[in-house]
Amino acid sequence: MADDEIILEDLSDDELVQQMHDDLYDGLKEEIEDATNILLKRGWVPYDILTQALVEGMRIVGVDFRDGILFVPEVLLSANAMKAGMFILRPLLAATGAPKQGKMVIGTVKGDIHDIGKNLVGMMMEGAGFDVIDLGINNPVENYLEAIEREQPDILGMSALLTTTMPYMKVVIDTMKEKGMRDDYVVLVGGAPLNEEFGKAVGADAYCRDAAVAVETAKEFMKRKHNQMSGA
Ligand code: B1M
């Protein structure tokens, strides 16, 4: 073993989280898996590992990607490392025993292959008691329509990370309107380049800044739906 090799177990919590940011930056999948397991063993709740270690680490990657310091192949490694950490946390987030809330179909729009944020939203929704049907990435309008007709969800969620792909959300919502089915579903949209105004402009019910907001917003709409059904 080299003298300068870092023993993850020997690090304090703060040092370990810092190390995870570095390892995510360097795309070190196994180290991220090990560190995630160590934090779990130390009693960290999955949500804190997700937000403080993984999402924050990815934010740092995003800054250097934007500034031309990191490039696609490196960011892909970071994304894979992040997904490995998320894979460990997913069953733990889903196993909260939350009462059933409803069903959501979610997918990233056509032309867009970013899926980390969408996956995170899916995981958090499952943890909050929603059944989640994940359509994956690069979804044309037909995929959304087929899925909502087949699954009859309460909520349709769309994700976009590119300014060039986010207008496609309007194509999906407009097609739903043309088919007279728009008002049968709650449509929630999210992704880094979106904002509240954009959500309104494309005709979504709400824009969700992050996964936690998506869960709260979805629950709120389910509450309203139940109140309407019970005539309250
Ligand atoms: Co891309 N990429 N990327 N990328 N990438 C961005 C988005 C970019 C902002 C980077 C930058 O320049 N700063 C930039 C977009 C610029 C723009 O549009 N203005 C960009 C670019 C340009 C590109 C390419 C074009 C690069 C190229 O090829 N030259 C290319 C496009 C490919 C394509 O899609 N056609 C590309 C490719 C890639 C990788 C494949 C390398 C990889 C994706 C891997 C993967 O997802 N499997 C990648 C990554 C990782 C990023 C950054 C660095 C990180 C995205 C991420 O995972 N964030 C990103 C930089 C950034 O966003 N600042 C960037 C972590 C995640 C937890 O956050 O996805 O925002 P986020 O999700 C949040 C919220 O937004 C919200 O909740 C989530 C959790 O809190 N949310 C929702 C998201 N979806 C939601 C849906 C909902 C609700 C909430 O529904 C209800």
* Helix 56-66 / helix 13-25 crossing angle, nearest 10 deg: 40
Burial of 14 (0-12, 13-18, 19+ CB in 10 A): exposed
Predicted pLDDT of residue 127: 87
The preferred substitution site among 65, 112, 148 for testing ligand 1, maximizing ligand atoms within 8 Å of CB, is 65
Task: Indicate whether residue 47 lines ligand 1 (CB < 6 A).
Answer: no
Q: Per-residue pLDDT averaged across 35-60, rounded? A: 96
Task: Indicate whether residue 63 lines ligand 1 (CB < 6 A).
Answer: no
Predicted pLDDT of residue 232: 57
Contact of 111 with 129, CB cutoff 8 Å: no
Residue 196: φ, ψ to 5°:
-55, -45
Predicted pLDDT of residue 177: 98
* Helix 13-25 / helix 72-94 crossing angle, nearest 10 deg: 130
Task: Indicate whether residue 32 lines ligand 1 (CB < 6 A).
Answer: no
Q: Is the pLDDT of residue 137 over 80?
A: yes
Nearest atom of ligand 1 to the alpha carbon of 160: 84
Segment 5-34, tens digit of pLDDT: 899 999 999 999 999 999 999 999 999 999
The pTM assigned to this predicted structure is 0.94
Between the CA of 193 and the centroid of ligand 1 the distance, in Å, is 9
Q: Per-residue pLDDT averaged across 181-197, rounded? A: 98
Predicted pLDDT of residue 175: 98
Task: Indicate whether residue 166 lines ligand 1 (CB < 6 A).
Answer: no
The confidence band for 156, taking pLDDT boundaries of 50, 70 and 90, is: very high
The confidence band for 230, taking pLDDT boundaries of 50, 70 and 90, is: confident
Q: Per-residue pLDDT averaged across 44-63, rounded? A: 94
Between the CA of 146 and the centroid of ligand 1 the distance, in Å, is 26
Between the CA of 190 and the centroid of ligand 1 the distance, in Å, is 11
Q: Is the pLDDT of residue 98 over 60?
A: yes
SS3 track for the chain: CCCCCCCHHHCCHHHHHHHHHHHHHCCCHHHHHHHHHHHHHCCCCHHHHHHHHHHHHHHHHHHHHHCCCCCHHHHHHHHHHHHHHHHHHHHHHHCCCCCCCEEEEEEEECCCCCCHHHHHHHHHHHHCCEEEEECCCCECHHHHHHHHHHHCCCEEEEECCCCCCCCHHHHHHHHHHHCCCHHHCEEEEECCCCCHHHHHHHCCCEEECCHHHHHHHHHHHHHHHHHHHCCC
Task: Indicate whether residue 192 lines ligand 1 (CB < 6 A).
Answer: yes
